[in-house]
Structures are given as structure tokens and as C-alpha cells.
Amino acid sequence: MNPHLWTISEYQQHLAKRDISAEEAVRDTLARIRQFDPALHAYIHVSETAVEEARQIDERLAQGLPVGPLAGVPVAVKDLIDTEDMPTTYGGLHFAGRRPSRTATAVARLRAAGAIVIGKTNLHEYAYGTTNENPHYGRARNPWNRAKIPGGSSGGSGVAIAAGLAMAALGTDTGGSVRIPAALCGHVGLKPTYGLVSKAGVFPLADSLDHVGPMARSVLDAALLLSVLAGPDPRDPTTVRIPPRAYHQVQPKARARVGVPKSFFFDKCHAGVAQTVQAALRTLQEHGFDLVEVDLPNAHQVPEMQNAIISSEALDVHEALLKAHPEQYGEDVRKRLESGYEIRGHQVVTATRFRRQFATEMQQVFAQVDVIATPATPITATDVGQQKAHIRAQEVLVRAHLTRYTNPWNLTGLPAITLPCGLAPDGLPVGLQLVGPRFGEMKLLAVALAAESALPWNPVAPDYR
């Protein structure tokens, strides 16, 4: 029995047949955390009550009482998300040891569905970075190669899934922070449409760009988690009241029109990544996908516009702490926050105007195609501590470049999912990103499910199987 290799669906089947108990699955996960996490730094805090919670699930099953759709599933939660029964540090020293007075809505909904929060995962300090090199709680390491970064800022959650230290995880995504770790660690990451999942109880980075999303071993697992997470919340005024959807009942849609951008999303892309994604697209075409070249002429302006918004909003969140205790920030995050002072009002106005225009342009694109396909990241996982990379003899900054293909969809709020599509020549995972229309999660998941079946993959890194 290897529950660390199972999807949620597979685990549910074994649990229903009593092949395994929830307590056994939780104990196995905790044992793996003790064995592997000292070298990986996926977790900041591990639950002290998970075993007892699992026993309660087993007792309900033994008595024939109903249990939720995530009964006994060990789930990791990014430590940016409040849990009143565990410390929530936000990855920073200012909040070390803090216990919130109330649990975040997203975590409460997972627990109501029977999930067991196995622990709180490491992140780039205050979610303001893409490498997960946290100076306070350890540099998270990629299970595919521990000399490499896992991506960020939800890197600990990505590591936990790829090393079999959790069956699923919860992350946040402001410029790609769910999808980047999923791509670099080789599993599924879903950023829902802005407003579909509550952010109540989540420490903000940039509120108008922040999303909460599931990270999982399969598209179907991500869909199941979304079914539990989605829905309006009076605690979060940005949530949208739309009819509930049973995302986990999604069926694969192979006969889909897939838009492939002819510029920007393959510009400044490492040759190994581009080749792997293009090979995956050819495979999808062989399986019935209709590839359509699309033009996104203003995509090249996104990095500048996104930076104006995230820099100003992040400074707004942190300015008081930055003035009172600047020494408690890591150097890279402190400098990024201070750069917010350089953003002028007219830049934010211009970025906001561009945001509306770009969103309108995307509506026109989705009148032609079902989804858009791009690489998830322009590069594979870089070395821990590496600040620069070279792409076709051009030097790029790793932290900024990792968000190049993901942040357009935070700016527009459109749903996007990353799934593994193969290995680059360096032996590291490459992610394929699929983007859907606003609140088009069911269509997006249907296409992703078909793509996943055409691109088989083991989401647990070889050394941890």
C-alpha cells in the first residue's frame, strides 16, 4: 500500500473498501514528513491533532455515518492562510508564532468536507517572490533535484505534493504562485477565476490580483477541491455569487479549439521548455485537439502593468511594518517592497486602464477558441541561490522571469491551470498552462482532463516514490 502515490479518487476507493484507514494514511504521511522534510523544508508547522482527526473519520465510517467528499485526505495549507489551531506566520518574522483568532474560509470549507490539514507549508516571505528561498524558515528544495528551487511563492505546497508529503495542497496565486511551483515540481495547479474562491483569512499581497487555488496530483483532484472551495463568502466582498457547480463531475473534452499565441508566450523561452511544450501540443493535436494560432498583441505590456499594480498594493499592505521593523524582512522582499515607493499615481492609472482593455481583448479571443495553451514558465527550475539565467544568449532575472507567462491571467482574473507535459533535456519537469474564459472552469477542466490523459505522468518525483 502506497498512499503517497494515490490520487484523492484512488484513496477514496481504498478507504471505502477498508483497504486502508484514514489513521493509517495520516500516519504514513506524517512518517514521510519526518523522514524527508528535514532536507526539503516543505513545512513550517506540522499538525499535532491530525491523527485524532483521522480516528474520528474512521469512527464515522465504522458506524455507517456520512462523511465528506474529502474524508481523511491529508491536505497541506500554505502558511499565508489562517488556521486558528496552528501557527500562521505568513512566512515572515513579524508574525512568528502567531495564532489567528479565526480560520480562513477556504480551510474551513476543506475541513467541513472531511479533509485533514496535515500542516502549514513554507512560502516565499509574505508570498512576495517566486523561488521560495525563505531566509527565516528555510529554503524549500525541489524533490526532482534538491539543488533546485521548487518555485514560489507556494513552493512548500508544491514540494509536499511532489515528495508525497501531502495528497493535495492549498496555495495562493498573485502572479503565478500556484502554477509556478506546480510546473517546476511536476503536478497540477489551478488558479480559479478571480472571485470564485474566498480570500477571507488570507494575508494579502495585492488584493486585486490575489487568488486562492488548489494544488493536486491530478486534474480530477483539483476539480474536486474546487467543488469544495468555490462559492460566495460574506467575509470576502470580492467573491461573486454564481450558481454552484459540481466541478468534480467534469468529463474530458478532447474535441476542443485550443488557441496557441504566436508571440510573447514563446518569446524569451528556454529552448528545452519550448520544445517540450510544442511536442506536447503535437500530441494533443494527434488526440483530436484543434490548434488555432491566436494573436495577443498587447501581452508584451503585461509585465510592466502588473508590476505597477502589485508594487503599489504590496507597499500599501506592508508600509507600517516596513517603517517600524525593516530589519525583520529578508533583503530581497524588503527591496521589492521599497520599490513600491518608485511607482507613481499615473502609472497605476495607466495599468488599471490597460487591465480593462486587455480583459476585453481576451473576451474577443475566447469567442474563437475554448482555451489558450502556453508554457507555464519560460525556464525549468533553477539552482537555489541563482539570480540570473541565460535564454538564447540573453540574460534574464530568474525571479521576475518565472512569472512572465502566468501573470497575464492574474491581471485579467481569468482561470488557468498548469499540468505536467514532460521533461526538458535537463531532466526537470515542464508545465503546460491552459487558460479559460471568465468563470469557464468547467470547460477549462474538461480540456485539461483530456490533455492529462494524452500526456501521462507520475506526479511524485522519482526519489520519493
Q: What is the CATH number of the domain that holds 289?
A: 3.90.1300.10
Annotated catalytic residues are 78, 153, 177
The answer to whether 303 touches 436, Cβ cutoff 8 Å, is: no
Range of the domain at 196: 3-464
Strand pairing report for 168-173 and 74-78: parallel
Residue labelled with grid coordinates 518569446: 267
The model scores a pTM over 0.85: yes
Can you tell me the distance from the alpha carbon of 308 to that of 250, in angstroms, rounded to the nearest whole number?
A: 37
Taking alpha carbons only, the member of 318, 313, 339, 341 closest to residue 329 is 318
- The DSSP H or E segment spanning 11 is helix 8-16
Total domains, the chain: 1
pLDDT, one tens digit for every residue, the chain (465 residues): 899 999 999 999 999 999 999 999 999 999 999 999 999 999 999 999 999 999 999 999 999 999 999 999 999 999 999 999 999 999 999 999 999 999 999 999 999 999 999 999 999 999 999 999 999 999 999 999 999 999 999 999 999 999 999 999 999 999 999 999 999 999 999 999 999 999 999 999 999 999 999 999 999 999 999 999 999 999 999 999 998 899 999 999 989 999 999 889 999 999 999 999 999 999 999 999 999 999 998 999 999 999 999 999 999 999 999 999 999 999 999 999 999 999 999 999 999 999 999 999 999 999 999 999 999 999 999 999 999 999 988 999 999 999 999 999 999 999 999 999 999 999 999 999 999 999 999 999 999 999 999 999 999 999 999
DSSP structure class, residue 455 = S
Can you tell me the distance from the alpha carbon of 42 to that of 230, in angstroms, rounded to the nearest whole number?
A: 26
